[in-house]
Amino acid sequence: MNSRRVVVTGMGVVSPVGNDCGTFFDNLLAGRSGIRRLSASFVDRLTANVGGEVDYDPATRFGKAKLGLLDRFSQFALEASAQAIQDSGLEFDEPLKARTGVFVGTGLGGACTIESGYEEIFLQNKNRVAPYIVPRAMNNAAAGHISIDYGLRGPNVTYSTACSSSAVAIGEACRTIRHGYADAAIAGGAESLLTLGTIRAWEALRTLAVTDTDDPAASCRPFSKDRTGLVLAEGAGMVVLESLEHALHRGAGIHAELIGYGAGSDAAHLTRPGLEGQVEVMRQALADAGISADEVDYVNAHGTATLAGDVIETAAIKRVFGAATGIPVSSTKSMHGHLMGATGAVEFIASVLAIRRRAVPPTANLRVADPECDLDYVPNRGRKDVEVRTVLSNSFAFGGSNAVLIARAFGD
């Protein structure tokens, strides 16, 4: 079977730290956090009252009729996809439409629509609900809208593997192109879970960060001894992938080459991460890329700021890269929060931008050294003018569904 090289030619992002790639990475590099006290009317009912909210007015992009069909996660997916397609310069003629796939990851899909529907039925005692609740809420709605808007008739697939969903979507899109089933793909993920019910459910798990009353923006502190948990966030990240042959034929600009993908399961526990599974999937990705660990210049960690998760990921990285490794490792979740099903794509984009900008974003809010987290986490300040040729991005999930992506500067 064919095994073609796959490149990234377009990127788009909607996030708490910026709604375009330039602003997004500038803020990450500067250590600026998008985490804040939630603006929702129900915020006083929450213990965990901070989150990574997106500043986005859908009315500036979508008409009233279209908006009626779109849950907030689909709005984000369409916006990020439009950015990525424009960035790529792709023009979809009929042959390309038939050879372009759509691959989207999401954890809960139309959570905002589902919750509003429940509220109408159970709290407001309405006998009828909006007629479009099902197509708004279904997990594959975002992928369907992208496909319809651009007339893309290739594979249209939605992945739901919790926090690794969008990394899996990008990795599977890469495989589809590698093996000749498509020439291009729109791939990534979207999520919007900042609803009362969802946040209260996460509070019950006791995994959410305690709000930093002195500085709410510093509530997410990956790898810091004083970390207290993750911060929920919303947004989307989408990339355009193409076969190298297709990209070169049309003279496309190339951001990076996607050289490695690994996917596997901890097969251990539904919510607690597993060391061996993380080690295995990183090694899978390195083997897929055909490189050794010492060729990686930067690791974008999953780094959720949970007590157990950060320790286990640290141990896994040391197992793969060597206990004395000096490789820079950072968690951008410290600034944009945990976008659940979208987080893998957003962090992959940050990783590619690290290559493009020759800079490594920091782990913000790293205030207290933790003896069990003893890698170079790029504390608090980003690094500019550094050699970043190859990056590895980790995405580990509830259910033990793990995925790792590796990108390399094109031409290496």
Q: Which residue has the tokens 């996809």?
A: 81
User: For residue 89, what is the enclosing H or E element?
Assistant: none
Please name the amino acid found at residue 266: D
Q: Which residue has the tokens 């009315």?
A: 59
At residue 190, φ and ψ (nearest 5 deg) are -150, 150
Q: Single out the residue of 40, 37, 33, 72 nearest to residue 56, CA to CA.
A: 72
What is the sign, positive or negative, of the torsion defined by CA atoms of 294, 296, 297, 302?
A: negative
- Which pair of structure tokens corresponds to residue 375? 């890698």
| Pairing state between β 298-300 and 329-330 | parallel
Residue in 163, 174, 220, 373 annotated catalytic: 163
CB 49 within 8 A of CB 43: yes
Q: Single out the residue of 83, 90, 58 nearest to residue 346, CA to CA.
A: 83
Please classify residue 165 by burial: count the beta carbons closer than 10 Å to its beta carbon, then call 0-12 exposed, 13-18 middle and 19+ buried.
Answer: buried
CB 105 within 8 A of CB 147: no
DSSP readout, 375-409? Answer: SB--BSS-EES----EEEEEE--GGGEEEEEEEE-
CB 190 within 8 A of CB 104: yes
CB 322 within 8 A of CB 384: no
DSSP readout, 270-338? Answer: SSS--HHHHHHHHHHHHHHHT--GGG--EEE------HHHHHHHHHHHHHHH-TT---BEE-THHHH-B
Residue in 246, 255, 302, 336 annotated catalytic: 302
Residue in 174, 246, 338, 373 annotated catalytic: 338
302 as an active site residue: the answer is: yes
DSSP 3-state of 9: strand
255 as an active site residue: the answer is: no
DSSP 3-state of 49: coil
Report d(CA 288, CA 310) in Å as an integer.
25
Cite the active site residues.
Answer: 163, 302, 338
